[in-house]
Chain A
Amino acid sequence: GEDVEQSLFLSVREGDSSVINCTYTDSSSTYLYWYKQEPGAGLQLLTYIFSNMDMKQDQRLTVLLNKKDKHLSLRIADTQTGDSAIYFCAEGGGSYIPTFGRGTSLIVHP
Chain B
Amino acid sequence: NAGVTQTPKFQVLKTGQSMTLQCAQDMNHNSMYWYRQDPGMGLRLIYYSASEGTTDKGEVPNGYNVSRLNKREFSLRLESAAPSQTSVYFCASSESDLLSPVGTSTYEQYFGPGTRLTVT
Binding site for B on A (CB under 8 A): 8, 30-31, 33, 35, 40-45, 48, 88, 90, 92-98, 100-103
Contacts and interface: CB of A to CB of B under 8 A. Distances in A.
- Chain B interface size band reads 20 to 34
17 contacts: A8-B40, A30-B102, A31-B108, A40-B114, A42-B4, A42-B111, A43-B92, A43-B109, A43-B111, A45-B109, A45-B110, A48-B108, A92-B107, A93-B107, A94-B107, A97-B58, A102-B41
Contact of A94 (B4, B90, B97): B97
Interface of B: 4, 40-43, 45, 48, 50, 58, 90, 92, 94, 96-98, 102, 106-114
B95 to A, nearest CB: 9
Contact of A45 (B4, B96, B108): B108
B97 A97 contact: no
Contacts of B109: 35, 43, 45, 90, 98
Contacts of A97: 45, 48, 58
Contacts of B114: 40-42
B96 A94 contact: yes
B26 to A, nearest CB: 16
Given A33-B108, A93-B106, A88 B43 contact: yes
A60 B83 CA distance: 42
Contact of A42 (B58, B98, B108, B112): B112
Contacts of B40: 8, 102
A97 B43 CA distance: 13
Contact of B97 (A41, A45, A95, A98): A95
A94 B111 CA distance: 17
Given A42-B114, A90-B109, 9 more contacts: A30-B102, A31-B108, A93-B106, A95-B97, A97-B45, A97-B58, A101-B42, A102-B41, A103-B43
Contacts of A45: 108-110
Contacts of A90: 109
Contact of B90 (A8, A40, A43, A92): A43
Contacts of B41: 102
